[in-house]
């Protein structure tokens, strides 16, 4: 069984990225609730954790990068969309333990409400698929309760949103 360290993704600078499985510290991640025409952007995750699951787009903040810059970069890489970062929607922990109770993944996630300002939707880098979905259709995508709660809260921040 592998812990994911043997196939680490390349960083933009060419070096190996430190493994995220079985970390000795939490990783800081950013996520986006991107709303367009009343629909929310979802991505199908290409890699662990949660490979194959539909979720909000986002990723890990790199050293020297602001939260907002990381989010803009991640959304462009994953979806081809350029976004304007709005207010923070939620800050939460995502901790996954293995069968022995050891911490397999630990992320501190900051989710933001975002608006599309350019680009063309496509699945890229860490996303196997990307699409806008009506909030009423989230059941068909088996979105987690935590993600659903973030989406609901984000939509409540939009003036005149039903």
pLDDT on residue 13? 36
Contact assessment for residue 51 and residue 140, using Cβ atoms and an 8 Å cutoff: no
Contact assessment for residue 148 and residue 139, using Cβ atoms and an 8 Å cutoff: no
pLDDT on residue 14? 34
Per DSSP, helices labelled H in 2-85 are: 67-79
Per DSSP, helices labelled H in 6-111 are: 67-79
Q: How far is CA 115 from the centre of its chain?
A: 15
pTM of whole model > 0.85? no
pLDDT on residue 1? 30
pLDDT tens profile 3-44: 332 223 333 333 334 478 898 999 999 999 999 998 999 999
pLDDT on residue 124? 85
Bridge partners of residue 56, in order along the sequence: none
- Determine the Cα–Cα distance for residues 160 and 136; give it in Å rounded to an integer: 17
**Domain limits, the chain:** 14-156
- Determine the Cα–Cα distance for residues 107 and 59; give it in Å rounded to an integer: 10
Band of residue 45 on the pLDDT scale cut at 50, 70, 90 = confident
Q: What letter would DSSP give residue 142?
A: T
Superfamily of domain 14-156: Nucleoside Triphosphate Pyrophosphohydrolase (3.90.79.10)
Handedness of CA 150, 139, 124, 80 (dihedral sign): negative
pLDDT tens profile 100-147: 999 998 999 999 999 999 999 999 878 889 999 999 999 999 898 999
pLDDT tens profile 70-99: 999 999 999 999 999 999 999 999 899 999
Per DSSP, helices labelled H in 39-144 are: 67-79
pLDDT on residue 17? 43
The three-class DSSP label of residue 42 is strand
């Amino acid at each position: 069984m592998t812990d994911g360290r043997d196939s680490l993704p390349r960083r933009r600078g060419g070096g190996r990225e430190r493994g995220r499985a079985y970390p000795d510290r939490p990783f800081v991640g950013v996520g986006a609730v991107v709303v367009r025409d009343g629909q929310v952007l979802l991505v199908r995750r290409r890699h662990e954790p949660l490979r194959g699951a539909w979720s909000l787009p986002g990723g890990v903040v790199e050293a020297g990068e602001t939260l907002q810059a990381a989010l803009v970069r991640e959304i462009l890489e994953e979806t081809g969309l350029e976004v304007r970062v709005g207010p923070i929607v939620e800050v939460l922990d995502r901790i996954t333990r293995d069968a022995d109770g050891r911490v397999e993944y630990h992320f501190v996630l900051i989710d933001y409400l975002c608006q599309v300002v350019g680009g063309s939707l496509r699945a890229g880098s860490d996303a196997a698929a990307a699409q806008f979905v009506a909030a009423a259709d989230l059941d068909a995508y088996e979105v987690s309760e935590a993600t659903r709660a973030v989406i609901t809260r984000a939509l409540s921040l939009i003036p005149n949103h039903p």
